[in-house]
Structure 1
Amino acid sequence: MLHDGFMENRASQLEQALRRAGVRVTRQRAALLRVIAASEDHPDAAELHRRAEAAGAGVSLATVYRTLTTLQTQGVIDKLEFQGEPARWEAADQRHHDHMIDLDTGEVMEFTNDRIERLQAEIAAEMGYDIVHHRLELYVRRRGSPGA
């Protein structure tokens, strides 16, 4: 669970990013930014809109999309495009992690694994490269589930 000070700091960073981009931070956008800052999962735009509406933001879905795009351009959030799913979003200030996507439930789980990281670096080095950036996505089904 994110503590209030961290969420307030993250919301402030998001607000500063919008201002740098020349976007006016309205009451509705400020409420949306608080929703984004409080997100510990990987919500899509529709889910962020639903949460903002539940918080009384009165923000349109189009504004949610425009705001997300601007925040991505400013480098403060990352757009995650998983196979066959709407784009999802997460804060860009997190340490490196990979994702496992449950094909049956749509759940996105974060994980880190030192062995995988070492193996990727070894493979790149064997081919004469250094890894600059990477994303690993594992699409999974729980063992014994239909379709597995």
Structure 2
Amino acid sequence: MESKLQDLKSLLATKNYKLTSQRKLILQILLDHQGEHLSAEDIYQIVKQEDSGIGLATVYRTLELFSDLGIIQQLNFDEDRRRYELGTNNDEHHHHLVCEECGRVIEFNDEILEAFEDDLADKHNFKITQHRIKFYGRCKECQ
């Protein structure tokens, strides 16, 4: 956590931003809940327990800043809200299984899909810069 905070502080400083207590708290929540794909509203509910002085608008602004800086990724699972996950484009790439019943999101990585991407790029002489794969269905608990 401490090295992640130091990295964030350095990144913010290069862009003329400070690591405020609000930003630090939101980053801590994202670190504590890695893999949970929280929405801004989810993060706000957790923030309120720690610091009731932070408003929902501050959470949204912070998430937007973190996204612009590549600290977090915004995810769209065809819902009425965005979800967020910590990480940059340099982290291990993964995909998502989305339960249509309960909304649970399960991360997975598949080497076959990565090989398919490489083959596709080679076959069409195309440089792929990013992709997002989501499968929809029902999780084990909802089947």
Aligned ranges 1:16-31 → 2 under 5 Å: 16-31=10-25
8 Å CA contact 1:72, 1:78 repeated in 2: yes
Quote how far apart the aligned CAs of 1:61 are. 0.4
Which of 55, 66, 72 is equivalent to 1:71?
A: 66
Gaps in structure 1 of 5+ consecutive residues: 1-6
Q: 1:100 to 1:130 in 2, by over 3 A?
A: same
Question: Given the two structures, how large is their TM-score scaled by the length of structure 1?
Answer: 0.79
Gaps in structure 2 of 5+ consecutive residues: none
Which residue is 1:83 aligned to?
78
8 Å CA contact 2:97, 2:107 repeated in 1: yes
Quote how far apart the aligned CAs of 1:19 are. 4.0
8 Å CA contact 2:47, 2:54 repeated in 1: yes
Aligned residues: 140
Which of 119, 141, 147 is equivalent to 2:138?
A: 141
Which residue is 2:93 aligned to?
96
Off by >6 Å, runs of 4+ in structure 1: none
**Structure 2 Cα separation of the partners of residues 123 and 19 of structure 1:** 39
**CA RMSD for the aligned pairs?**
2.4
Question: Given the two structures, how large is their TM-score scaled by the length of structure 2?
Answer: 0.81
Which of 21, 29, 36 is equivalent to 1:35?
A: 29
Q: Deviations over 1:57-93 (max 9, x none)?
A: 5310000000011111111111111112411111124
Residue range with higher mean Cα deviation, 59-68 or 110-119: 110-119
Residue range with higher mean Cα deviation, 40-49 or 23-32: 23-32
Q: Percent identity?
A: 28
Which of 55, 58, 61 is equivalent to 1:60?
A: 55
Answering whether residue 42 of structure 2 is matched by residue 47 of structure 1, we say yes
SS at the partner of 1:139?
Answer: strand
Quote how far apart the aligned CAs of 1:133 are. 1.7
Residue range with higher mean Cα deviation, 102-111 or 12-21: 12-21
Which residue is 1:9 aligned to?
3
**Structure 1 Cα separation of the partners of residues 123 and 20 of structure 2:** 52
Which residue is 1:110 aligned to?
107
8 Å CA contact 2:102, 2:142 repeated in 1: no
